[in-house]
Each structure stands twice: as structure tokens, then as C-alpha cells.
Structure 1
Amino acid sequence: MEQLDKRQRLFESARNLFLEQGFKKTNVAAITERAEVAVGTFYKYFASKEQIFFEVYQAENERAKRLIVSQINLDQSPKEVINQFLKSMIQTSEENPILSEWYRNTEISQIIMEHIQEPDIWQNSYVYSFLIENIKRWRETGQFRKDIELDTIIALFNALVVVDNRKEDIGSQHYPQVLELLAEMIVDGLSTET
């Protein structure tokens, strides 16, 4: 029990420091000092500052997405649901110091990308489940085309993740609008409403 407590204290200390001062200004010594554990204890649980940041980032990202999804009015059209989700996620990512590291810090983007390459990390997310559930619902209610295989529809939305992961290539000044336009075009192409 005490081991989980130390790991949790390190995690919470890191989260708070990343929120307060960002990735670059936070170091392992500050994390352990705030958690009231020895520096050596940190390395029992985490290989590096980068690893703990990734875990904090993932938890923060998942928390933000759950909150956003809980506030979406699912009675809207598919286009409005997807648009509302993307706009809220972009706004939250800009406002949250931990999430904004993905956009501001190339080093952090690379660290996150390395971890995201792990098999099934995207498919095991809450948003992925939310998306699949709604795609199925939109197909059943006749809002999405049925002549396109479900796997193909999912692949179209997965393309948005690829765009998200290649934001540097697109350019940060264009990224939010490109993501929103692509999502809109995908939904328009799948929609049965004219």
C-alpha cells in the first residue's frame, strides 16, 4: 500500500509542477521534494522525467476528453457533435499547461509520439469508444451511409489522429482549422443528409 502511495504522491507532485511551471522548468528533484520522497525512490517507479510526464499527459488528456464528451449534446447532428468535440478539445489543449506542451514543445511531441506508437493505445481510449458507439448509432438511425463498411468509416476518423500526430508538417498556424475542415468533410461525405 505504501508503495502505491509513494507512486501516487510522485505522480500528483509531477502533475502539479507541470501545471505550475511546465515541463522544462520541472525537474526530478523538485518532484521528489514535493512528494516528500528520496530521489532514488522516483527511479523505482519512473525511468525518467519524460516517462512521468507522458503518464501525467495521458491522464490529463483522458480526463479532459471525458469532460468534453460528457458536455456534448448527442441530439445534435453528427457534424455538430464532431465539431463541438474538436473545438472543445483544441480550446482545452490551448488552456491546459500540460496538454499545451503537445503543441508548443517539439521535444514533448516526440516523447508523446514514441509512447503513442505502442499498439492499441488509441483504440483503448475513451474517445475511441465514444466515436465507435456514435458512428454505429448514426448508421442505425440513417444519418450515416450504410454502403461504406464500418471499418472504413473508422479508418477515415483514424486519419484525423494521423493529422494530429503530424501537426508540425501542417504548421501550427494551420493545424486547428485543417483538423476541423477535414473532420467536417469526412462527416459530410458520410452523411445521408444533403
Structure 2
Amino acid sequence: MPKGFSAREKEWIKEKLMTRGRELFCAYGVKKTSISDLTHAAGIAQGTFYSFYSTKEELFFDILEQEEDEVKRAFLEAPVASGNNPKHAISELLIQTFNRIEDNPIFKRLFADDEMENLMRKLPDHKLEAHLRKDNDMLLPVIEKWKRDGVFLSVDSNIVAGVLRSLFLLATQRKQIGAAYHATVSFLIEAVVEQLLVPKSDSHE
């Protein structure tokens, strides 16, 4: 933990780093933003940065997780069982989630050039593993809520969570997929939902 700062000061410094870091990363990317750029923008000494983060990639990852939490909150709170067509509701929810990701400047920066590869290379394994666990911990309660709300799933909840996680990873492959990206995403969402959900007429057989 950082030494020499009160709890309020630590909170203020970290918030400042994240706010200024978000601005700089969105504008220039992680690779083109230096530690001195970050500390100068935040109004702190350069050495102070290392009391909070080992690398600028770890700061970017914290900002990324903060942005993800907003996307996840909207995903968690969205109703999917209202009406008689949960397949349509879930498909629409997945499309809306993709749109939120695509419109977010931090995600745009992550998917630009080789930022994603650089981030994965620089981050410690334990942070990536914790992130995957956090994703799973978020998705499983959502899936169980769908079940309680009358959405009939054809496979185990853990498989559903894995499929949804894999689907969202498509957003990291936009450049590789190319011009067919949006059509590919729409097709896969439709196919995934069709396979994961049991038709209502079959649910009581």
C-alpha cells in the first residue's frame, strides 16, 4: 500500500490517475502515453505513480474494468423475460451490449492497433485470472435470474456463461474479421440464442 498518504489522499490520487489516465489513453493510446504524462496530468510526483501501479498497463486495466462494470450493470439489470419472446429479448440485449462496447472510447482504444496484445503481455497473470473469475461471478447470477424469470435454457449455466463470454470476445477481433464484422456478430448472436434457449412449446415436454 502507498505510504505517507492518508486514506482520503490515496483515494483522491487514484481517482485523479484514473480520470487523467482515461483522457490520455483515449486520446493517444497506452503505448504513446508515458508515466510522466500521467503524473503531470494528475498533478503528482512521478515516483508517486509507482506507489499505486507497477505499470501504466495496470492503470489502463483498472480503467477498463471500471468501464466494463458500467456495461455489466446495464446487462445485469435488463429484463429479458417480459412478453412471450425471450429469444428476441436476449438477442436484443446482446446486440445492445455490443453497441455499448463499440461506442465506448476506452474499448475503442483497446481494440485499436496492437493495444490488446500489448496489454495481455504486460499484465501479471493473477490480474487476468481475477478478471476472468469476476466475469464468471457476474454472468452466473444473471443466467440464474433468467431461469427464475421463466427463460428455459438448453444447457448448464456454466456453459451458457462460457458461450456468452466467448461471444463478447468477438469485439476484440473486429480488425481480423474485417468488413463482415457486424453481420458476423448478428449471425452468431442469433445462432447462439437459438441453441441456448429451449422453445417455449418444448419447455414442458
Please, what TM-score do these two structures have when normalized by structure 2?
Answer: 0.72
Conserved? CA contact 1:10–1:32, under 8 Å:
yes
2:90 aligns with: 82
1:173 aligns with: 179
2: distance between equivalents of 1:60 and 1:154?
20
2:111 aligned to which of 83, 98, 103: 103
Conserved? CA contact 1:102–1:109, under 8 Å:
yes
Letter in 2 for 1:123: R
1: distance between equivalents of 2:190 and 2:87?
6
1:159 aligns with: 166
Task: Give the 3 Å change call, closer, same or farther, for CA 65–35 of structure 1 in structure 2.
Answer: same
SS at match of 1:46: coil
Are 1:192 and 2:198 counterparts? yes
1:136 aligned to which of 137, 144, 147: 144
Letter in 2 for 1:186: V
1: distance between equivalents of 2:90 and 2:137?
12
2: distance between equivalents of 1:138 and 1:7?
37
- Count residues with an aligned counterpart: 188
Identify unmatched segments of 5+ residues in structure 1.
none
1:100 positional shift = 0.5
Letter in 2 for 1:180: S
Are 1:27 and 2:34 counterparts? yes
Please, what TM-score do these two structures have when normalized by structure 1?
Answer: 0.75
2: distance between equivalents of 1:15 and 1:171?
27
Letter in 2 for 1:84: E
Task: Give the 3 Å change call, closer, same or farther, for CA 100–135 of structure 1 in structure 2.
Answer: same
Range 133-142 or range 180-189, more displaced: 133-142
Letter in 2 for 1:7: K
1:68 positional shift = 5.1
Between Structure 1 and Structure 2, whose CA radius of gyration is higher? 2
1:169 positional shift = 8.2
- Identity fraction in percent: 23
1:142 positional shift = 5.3
Identify unmatched segments of 5+ residues in structure 2.
1-6
Task: Give the 3 Å change call, closer, same or farther, for CA 172–85 of structure 1 in structure 2.
Answer: farther
1: distance between equivalents of 2:158 and 2:129?
18
Letter in 1 for 2:185: L
1:121 aligns with: 131
Task: Give the 3 Å change call, closer, same or farther, for CA 11–142 of structure 1 in structure 2.
Answer: closer
SS at match of 2:131: coil
